Amino acid sequence: MTTRRDLMTGALLGAMLGAPLVAPVAGLAQTFRAIPQRASARVIIDNDFAGDPDALVALAHQLLTPKTRTVLITASGLDQKLAGKAVAGRSAALGRDIAIDLMKRAGLVSPPPVLAGPESFGAGDAQITDAARAIVAEAMREDKLPLFITCGGPLTNVAAALRLEPAIAKRMTLIWIGGGAYPKGGWEYNLATDPDAARHVIERSTLPLWQIPQNAYRQMQYSVAEMATALRPISPFSAWLYDRFTSPPDFIDVSGAWPLGDSPTVLLSALSPESSRFEDRPALRIGPDMSYGAPVEGRMVRVFETLDARLTFADFIALLRLHADGALPAPA
């Protein structure tokens, strides 16, 4: 077995590194050899891209990282009470279009397919759309890389895929941003938007679940001033991302920081869970008021309590800079 120390020997390191990667360094004209990385997992990204723009930050981050290969993107809808008249009834389709626009602006050479889920919520055949069918097809496809499905919104598309083909529960791991703090739970947007979907995934499936509840994802605070000085100036693409945050709904009073709550999906799938803290807990049933109830017999959930925001945001900004310099290979 090759150890990290072995990797630092001259012969092995030289064989792995290959051709140098060129990137500009302020005040210096030099090249450097990149630390070798290769994709260690496939990722299906599911999110309500027409909602809070933190979904777009997580999408861009996942697409740029060399550690995962994004194979499919699916869009979920928004709660009709919050969607507004302009997007009511078409928020999933709009989210699909926004995700496609993001990839064009990023200059992706071989972008993954993007499909919209249903515009309504709840159980039933109406939830089984092309998005759910595509999730099933990818999960059932043979590939040496393990599969994550990351969800930063309601679990509508994930539940629909499980209803269509329960066998996918053994073929992927779900990372979900959602649910209230343990042990009590309570109202939380992603959970409350489609509680039937959450109940199906948590109570009636065996799909491995890494849950980032509300108290954990709210740790992902990014300073508004940093967004203006660190994110915006990097490139036209980063400026476009920044601009998604500049027209919030009138009812939102923006504080000194914006919670980029969907970014833990990238932290845990592509970077490292080692600097975050989690606990494996019995899965709990979801009550009518979104509180947690009795345990689901034989079902465990990995619940993250603290997250490494510094690692997450530093990596994202660095990847944007490499992308802007042309020093990051175009993701495929």
In a domain, 16, yes or no: no
What single-letter amino acid sits at 155? Answer: L
In a domain, 66, yes or no: yes
**CA 55 from centroid of its chain's CA atoms:** 7
Number of folded domains in the chain?
1
In a domain, 86, yes or no: yes
In a domain, 297, yes or no: yes
Those residues with Cβ within 8 angstroms of residue 100's Cβ, 6 or more apart along the chain or in another chain: 111, 114
Cβ atoms 74, 135 nearer than 8 A: yes
pTM over 0.85, yes/no: yes
CATH at 63: 3.90.245.10
pLDDT at 160: 97
**Mind listing the pLDDT tens digit for each residue in 198-224?**
999 999 999 999 999 999 999 999 999
pLDDT tier for residue 27 given thresholds of 50, 70 and 90:
very low
Helices (H), ranges, the chain: 4-7, 10-17, 54-64, 80-83, 91-106, 130-140, 156-164, 189-193, 195-203, 214-217, 224-226, 236-243, 264-266, 309-325
Those residues with Cβ within 8 angstroms of residue 37's Cβ, 6 or more apart along the chain or in another chain: 66, 67
Residue 112 DSSP one-character state: P
pLDDT tier for residue 16 given thresholds of 50, 70 and 90:
very low
What is the span of the domain harbouring residue 241? Answer: 38-325
**Mind listing the pLDDT tens digit for each residue in 284-332?**
999 999 999 999 999 999 999 999 999 999 999 999 999 999 987 544 4
In a domain, 27, yes or no: no
Those residues with Cβ within 8 angstroms of residue 7's Cβ, 6 or more apart along the chain or in another chain: 13, 16
Average pLDDT over residues 74-87: 82
In a domain, 330, yes or no: no
What single-letter amino acid sits at 6? Answer: D
In a domain, 5, yes or no: no
Two structure tokens written together for 269: 């799938």
In a domain, 6, yes or no: no
